[in-house]
Structure 1
Amino acid sequence: MEHNIELDNLSRLGSLRFTKKPRTFGTRENFFEKYDDHTFVQRFRLSKRSVSSVLDKLQHKIRNYTERNRALSPLEMLLLALRFYASGSFLITVADFCGVSVATASRVVRKVSIAIAELSAEYIKMPKTNMELEITARSFHRIASFPKVVGCIGCTHMKIQSPGGENAEIFRNRKGYFSYNVQAVCDADLVIRDIVCRWPGSAHDSNIFNNSRIKHRFELNEFKDGFILGDSGYGVNRYMMTPLSHPNTDAERLYNESQIRTRNCIERCFGVWKRRFPVLSIGLRISHETVMAVVVACAVLHNIARKNGDADPSEEDSCSTEESTETIYEYHSTESQEASFMRSSLIRDYFAVYKSTL
């Protein structure tokens, strides 16, 4: 008798185990037709024009070649990823908004982010030709009369969830949360010209630069006699100009003022970038294999938005005030005699003369 009861229970368990849940499909809307231009930008942070230009570059990479199970179109996949960048929400929220499952949303965000990041060679690049270098230097000179600047450099933290494992603590930054420390170089128009996104939050800014390809390019004199401006955490040399810790003369004070005002471009760039894509400041709750692709993808999209003249997001559109409230902790690096001489020569030959003409 007991043996028969056990067999009946096993039979019922087996039938429950293999019962397949019927598939359900959420409602999908055509957001291009549903929203006007202003509302569309509020939801996706890019204009319809910019989205169309990105779609032209991506659709052959991300399209599904079958209609099985109501496969998403390239436009639907792109808008899903943009909604994730623009909201910084959990994937389940984005999935509900776009009418797909969480698993589908996760796969789409990864697929689209990698495809956009692969466009970085086209949209994130330093000026190369003499004409490009001259135009860039003129744009910077109009800010505060600092000569021969080809870029401003800085680092910003992208918050992530704990990676777990033995090496998790290397991602904890000086403020106590887990992050990637992302280095970027921008121009006077707040366009990102170079980006490095692979270092954990505990890495120091100067260490990232010393191991970056952009430094190697400056060492090879690829940008002629152009300067890159950084804060006092970087070491001064023939191509890197940093502020003086204790300016004494009028020329030195003028140099500091000009350097700081010009270098402020990178801080403004970070602010606009993170307001445009709040996921960068709220925190990336995705796998670490996808984090770097999302960051680079957002940099590419930021440059496309700048190129197409999309309006910068306002402070009210921001989901975080991290950039405006961030406390700066600077490490003052040691300077070689030769490097200090280079900066002193610039102050003597340019800023002292410029001061005398005012």
Structure 2
Amino acid sequence: MAALLHLYNCQGRRNDRLFRERIGLDQLRDFEVMSRYRLDRVSIEALIGLLADDLMKPTRRSCSISAEIQVLVTLRYLAKGSFYSEVADLHGVSRSSVCHAVESVVTAINDKLDTIRFPLESLNCTKYSFYNKCGLPNVIGAIDGTLIPIQAPAENEAAYVCRKGFHAINMQAVVDSNMRFLDIVARWPGSQHDSFIFNNCGLKDVLESADLGYLLGDSGYPLRSYLMTPILNPSSVAEVNFNNHHSSGRSVVEKAFGVLKSRFR
């Protein structure tokens, strides 16, 4: 009887919970921070300060996950595209915690971060920089679209199949000569054409209402007074030279997409 009672107590006793070590920014050197999270220490600390109130939820637990760890977990996942288990092991949390952290941080970023705005009041520097780069005057940005792969959605699945045969969102972006994003539209499915997205974006209305300058776009966009496209089938030296200058200026948006996708996998 005593042996059975002892066995019952052993089976009913709950094991002590073990907490793994959680490594924060203060334990990493600058090059390690950049390598792991693809952002520098100052930018990450600013992001933590911006999102802290949204990420810290009331709890009676003594080892709740801090806003810093949640941001680091999310940045690591976005930067590397790793499995949840790898991210969890690196930061001393569970896989379910990684899932909750990524959702919470991304939602908070969408609600709080508002840094990409078209610089209507400071376009002279942008025009000067583009002129030095490609020799074309009055250029205020380069525009293009890129496909962002996604999982197949439950609704309107066929609309998200892009021309390359996978499910995606067609993201439109405008960048300056230094590859800084000035405007982004990320709401249309992958089957939509670049020209359709531009014709239904707010920036088009702004450019039509004021003489600000013009964007550089590829041949998939319509030629407008505020949107310059290359000459199809150039027949003179001047037209070839124009296309070369146009391509030199427009290439920054393709480079910007490459940097974005290599930084956040």
Structure-2-length-normalised TM-score: 0.89
| Preserved CA contact (<8 Å) 1:127 1:136 | no
The one-character-per-residue Cα deviations of 1:252-273 (angstroms, maximum 9, x if unpaired) are: 2221111111000100000111
Residue matched to 2:205: 216
CA apart distance, 1:28: 3.2
Match of 1:266 among 253, 256, 264: 253
| Preserved CA contact (<8 Å) 1:64 1:72 | no
Residue matched to 1:189: 178
Residue matched to 1:88: 81
Q: 1:45 to 1:211 in 2, by over 3 A?
A: same
| One-letter identity of the residue aligned with 2:79 | A
| Preserved CA contact (<8 Å) 1:31 1:40 | no
Q: Classify the secondary structure of the residue corresponding to 1:64.
A: coil
Say whether residues 1:124 and 2:116 are aligned partners: yes
Match of 1:154 among 123, 126, 144: 144
The answer for unaligned runs of 5 or more in structure 1 is: 1-18, 279-358
Worse-superposed segment, 204-213 or 248-257 = 248-257
| Preserved CA contact (<8 Å) 1:136 1:188 | yes
| One-letter identity of the residue aligned with 2:52 | Q
Q: Classify the secondary structure of the residue corresponding to 1:42.
A: helix
Worse-superposed segment, 241-250 or 95-104 = 95-104
CA apart distance, 1:89: 1.5
Residue matched to 1:134: 124
| One-letter identity of the residue aligned with 2:131 | H
CA apart distance, 1:34: 3.0
Aligned counterparts, 1:20-59, within 5 A: 24=17, 26-59=19-52
Quote the Cα distance in structure 1 between the aligned partners of 2:113 and 2:135.
31
Q: Classify the secondary structure of the residue corresponding to 2:140.
A: strand
Quote the Cα distance in structure 1 between the aligned partners of 2:179 and 2:147.
18
| One-letter identity of the residue aligned with 1:144 | C
Q: Does 1 or 2 have the higher relative contact order (CA < 8 Å, sep 6+)?
A: 1
The one-character-per-residue Cα deviations of 1:78-108 (angstroms, maximum 9, x if unpaired) are: 1011011111012233223222222221221
Of all paired residues, the percent bearing the same amino acid is 35
Quote the Cα distance in structure 2 between the aligned partners of 1:20 and 1:169.
53
Quote the Cα distance in structure 1 between the aligned partners of 2:120 and 2:14.
58
Aligned counterparts, 1:321-336, within 5 A: none
| Preserved CA contact (<8 Å) 1:127 1:133 | yes
Structure 1 runs of 4+ aligned residues shifted over 6 Å read 19-23
RMSD: 2.0
Q: Classify the secondary structure of the residue corresponding to 1:118.
A: helix
CA apart distance, 1:22: 6.3
CA apart distance, 1:72: 1.1
| One-letter identity of the residue aligned with 2:244 | E
| Preserved CA contact (<8 Å) 2:143 2:174 | yes
Residue matched to 1:203: 192
CA apart distance, 1:23: 8.2
Q: 1:33 to 1:89 in 2, by over 3 A?
A: same
Q: Classify the secondary structure of the residue corresponding to 1:128.
A: coil
Q: Classify the secondary structure of the residue corresponding to 2:123.
A: helix
Q: 1:23 to 1:61 in 2, by over 3 A?
A: farther
Q: Classify the secondary structure of the residue corresponding to 1:135.
A: helix
CA apart distance, 1:160: 1.3
The one-character-per-residue Cα deviations of 1:41-93 (angstroms, maximum 9, x if unpaired) are: 11111111111122222212222343525211111111011011111012233
Quote the Cα distance in structure 2 between the aligned partners of 1:23 and 1:207.
59
Residue matched to 1:239: 226
Higher fraction of helix: 1
| Preserved CA contact (<8 Å) 1:186 1:194 | yes
Quote the Cα distance in structure 2 between the aligned partners of 1:117 and 1:105.
18
